Amino acid sequence: MPGLIASEMHARAQRQPDCNGFATALAVRSLRQQGHTAPPSLLAVLERCRSAQGGFGFWPQGLRPHWAPPLPDDADDTAIMALELYLAGRLTRTETRRIACQRVGTRRIARLPVLRPPWLRTGVFATWSRSAGGQDMVDCTVITNVLALLTATGLEGIPGARESMDLLNRALDWAGDDETRASSLSPFYPDAAEWLLALDHAAAMGCQGVSILLDRVRRTPWGQAAWLRRAAPDHPICSSPYGLAVWRSPALCAVRSGAEAA
């Protein structure tokens, strides 16, 4: 499909080429942040990532690679893709708000596992768009992307937003200057640089409280290092939980570098 940003999946000794909507969406975001207009072909990719249920998934419909398991819609892809389509005029404000409420806002953590990090709390937005008895994995980068969508569409007051902002602050309190702890805050992102980029974007969207959090992250040693490596060709952009399979996208990183230089 034209417009897909290339990436590669690494899992143990296995390497698989992959073109997915997630890397494409991040490229669209990067272009927009630098004042560029995304080509229509990239936006068409995001539109095709929308499922019959109304949310968005990692791959365009019908283009999931043979080696990948079927996945439900998720809050991260839904937040990133819906926001870019809205800002590009491909979704109305009403439709974007409906997506945010129905596919993200209604899915919140109701129960916590017995073994859990001290920063985890109930009431925050879940990662997957599926019914799992109120339990799900919590990812700080995902939550940050959700808060950016809610702010951009005037939904920052819905249930779950305040709890999610509180969780981000508690998570950073716990991580402090420890890069290993910081990396564990986002199980679907193996490099804390992506959380830093998500915070920077959410702050630019006007998300209340994120600017202070962003300044705190930038003052940590790992935050300073993360900013330097965010566009390196070997930078990992996402993963399966806790890095069992990792995606890298030199093409996305080139867009980031090129946009910065433009």
DSSP lists the bridge partners of residue 11 as 14
pLDDT for 259 equals 47
What confidence tens digit (pLDDT) does each residue in 35-83 have?
Answer: 999 999 999 999 999 999 999 999 999 999 999 999 999 999 999 999 9
Q: In sequence order, what DSSP letters do the residues of 92-118 get, joined into one string?
A: -HHHHHHHIIIIIIT-B-----SS--T
Q: What is the pLDDT of residues 181-236, one digit of tens each?
A: 999 999 999 999 999 999 999 999 999 899 999 999 999 999 998 877 877 889 99
Compare 137 and 161 and report the one with higher pLDDT.
161
Domain residue spans in the chain?
Answer: 16-261
What's the burial of 132, exposed, middle or buried (CB within 10 Å: 0-12/13-18/19+)? middle
Which tokens go with 31? 């272009």
Q: Distance between CA atoms of 110 and 138, rounded to whole angstroms?
A: 12
For residues 143 and 136, give the distance between their C-alpha atoms in angstroms, rounded to a whole number.
13
pLDDT, position 262: 33
Task: Say what the pTM is.
Answer: 0.95
- Nearest 5°: phi and psi at 25? -65, -40
What CATH code is assigned to 16-261? 1.50.10
